[in-house]
């Protein structure tokens, strides 16, 4: 499963129009456009992507003074338990919904180190 940052890289790769399949053949631009449309266009029913990220607050008392962390690179052990590979404190991220949404182009161009929109991301039409 992709992390948020890998997902942003994937979208940016598709947008270049030069992506290759596992056999090393270039994927036709029409197919890349279909993939991008399926991911980025608001449709009914809503669509979403499963990404490898779990967010949690750590520290503080009853949530006051706590910091937000992102857990990623998860794996499953033999007992079936989900194991977090990395946990890092988040900095400079958009921490609330934005209505009507965010500017997708700005987010893809200027995401933070984890692929998350920065608080300065402009309004746009991508639900967030």
pLDDT at 17: 94
Please indicate, yes or no, if residue 81 is contained in any of the structural domains: yes
Please indicate, yes or no, if residue 125 is contained in any of the structural domains: no
pLDDT in tens, the chain (128 residues): 999 999 999 999 999 999 999 999 999 999 999 999 998 887 888 888 899 999 999 987 876 788 999 999 999 999 999 999 999 999 999 988 887 889 999 999 999 999 999 999 999 988 88
Please indicate, yes or no, if residue 84 is contained in any of the structural domains: yes
The order of strands in the sheet holding 67-72 is 54-58, 67-72, 86-89
pLDDT at 54: 96
Report whether 116 contacts 72 (CB < 8 A).
Answer: no
The domain total for the chain is 1
Predicted model pTM: 0.85
Distance CA 48, CA 126 (A): 12
Q: Which residues pair with 68 in a beta bridge?
A: 57
Query: For residue 70, what are the domain limits?
Result: 52-90
Q: Degrees (nearest 5) of the Cα angle 92, 98, 100?
A: 150
Q: Which of 6, 33, 8 is nearest to 19 (CA)?
A: 33
């Amino acid at each position: 499963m992709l992390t948020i940052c890998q997902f942003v890289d994937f979208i940016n790769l598709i947008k270049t129009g030069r992506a290759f399949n596992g056999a090393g053949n270039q994927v036709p631009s029409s197919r890349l456009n279909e993939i991008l449309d399926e991911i980025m266009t608001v449709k009914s029913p809503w669509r979403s992507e499963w990404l490898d990220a779990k967010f949690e607050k750590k520290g503080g008392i009853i949530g006051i003074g706590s910091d937000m962390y992102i857990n990623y690179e998860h794996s499953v052990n033999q007992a079936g338990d989900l194991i977090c590979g990395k946990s890092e404190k988040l900095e400079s991220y958009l921490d609330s919904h934005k209505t009507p949404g965010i500017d997708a182009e700005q987010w893809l161009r200027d995401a933070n180190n984890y692929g998350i929109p920065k608080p300065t991301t402009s309004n746009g039409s991508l639900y967030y």
